[in-house]
Structure 1
Amino acid sequence: MKSYCLCLFFLASGLFSYSQEKINWINWDQMIQERENDSIKKKVFIDLFTSWCGWCKRMDGTTFSDRTIVNYMNSKYYCVKFDAETKDTIVFNGHQFINSDPSFVKSTNSSRGKSHWFAHSILDGKLSYPSYVILDENLTRLMIYKGFKDTEKLLGILLFFASDQYKYYNNYLNEAWNKSLKNNSQN
């Protein structure tokens, strides 16, 4: 009877995890291909991670597993999962990026390697994991976020950029700055 209950438990938990929706993570090349095929371009969300990063795994197990986050990201973004220590070559804006350790690229083992030059470039040399980069529809970087984000914080970020609110916020800041300069010059 005990083994029967255990068997049912594992079967039910397997079905539950199978039925859960997941973020449609793609690699860089797949994102480029999907963009070419889509008539309406979406923004790009890049999750930069490493295999040894505990907070990256926690994001995968919590925030990136939340149904609201999953549905929103899948509908509004190309979701790129980028291993910051990958051996893959990335082409971006006419530049070719490789892993910073040529001996690691040529090795056949799966040991921890050095960081990829794409990670250095897209994060302005400030490597921290997990990190998230949002690109607009033209692949222009909009923002870098670092560290663990709970569902509420990440959803706010996703909404802010997908709805183009960042454009209005920049206009507001520019107007406020110009008004401040004008007021200061009159005094």
Structure 2
Amino acid sequence: MLKSAFLNVCLVTTSLVSAQDAATPKINWMTWSEAIEAQKAAREFYLKDKKANHPPKKIFLDVYTTWCGPCKKMDANTFKKPSVIQAMNKYYYPVKLNAEQPDPITHDEHTFINPNPTLVRGRRGVHQLAASILDNQLFYPSFVVMDENTNRLVIHKGYKGELVMAGILAFYGSNEYLKYKEAVMKQSGQQKAKNSTGQPINQ
């Protein structure tokens, strides 16, 4: 069911893929702190005036390293495609997080650090914020989608081409994933009800 729903979103994005704009805008990447502040401000404003019709966006997090080849390929190709840029700017606060950055990051009154910030053979230790968000499952690049309240929705790992990335962005950004979640819960409830009735005993 998830595959079917996701494919439907991907098919919709093909129209975006074919539309090439000579003056294509770019993704305006933010820091983690900038995105959190922007989301917080938008959330507070929306709660005060829902008629404004400007709810906070979700957060898209690109966790990368400076030595990661696929990460560089994503920047050179996928993140420059019109369909990806359009979906990203429409639905998300886009964040670049270097998983090995040496600088501390404070979030929710907790300061995350890189315990081994010294560069050794082109690499540093892993930043605590990156490790926490990825549940210590370190794979680069990793892409994390967070909802309007900064709750993690999903982690996608590895290089993604234009169509797949545009599909991911649209699937979660447009809240299509909620329809899938509701369908799964409904199906699960029906299955539990069916199992609870039991089966007749063969005589």
Pairwise TM-score range, normalised by the shorter structure:
0.7 to 0.9
Aligned match for 2:189, one of 170, 178, 184: 178
Q: Distance in 1 between matches of 2:182 and 2:188?
A: 10
* Correspondences of 1:80-99 after superposition (within 5 Å): 80-99=95-114
Unaligned residue ranges in structure 2 (runs of 5+)? 1-22, 46-54
Give the aligned residue type for 1:28: W
Aligned match for 1:132, one of 135, 143, 154: 143
Higher mean alpha-carbon deviation, 69-78 vs 28-37, is at 28-37
Q: Distance in 1 between matches of 2:24 and 2:90?
A: 16
TM-score by length of 1: 0.81
Higher relative contact order (CA 8 A, sep 6+): 2
Give the aligned residue type for 1:73: M
- Going from structure 1 to structure 2, the CA distance change for 1:110 and 1:43 (only over 3 Å counts) comes to farther
Q: Show the counterpart of 1:73.
A: 88
Higher mean alpha-carbon deviation, 89-98 vs 140-149, is at 89-98
Higher mean alpha-carbon deviation, 65-74 vs 122-131, is at 65-74
- Going from structure 1 to structure 2, the CA distance change for 1:20 and 1:167 (only over 3 Å counts) comes to closer
Higher mean alpha-carbon deviation, 156-165 vs 27-36, is at 27-36
Q: Distance in 2 between matches of 1:160 and 1:100?
A: 36
Q: Show the counterpart of 1:34.
A: 38
Aligned match for 2:26, one of 4, 13, 22: 22
TM-score by length of 2: 0.75
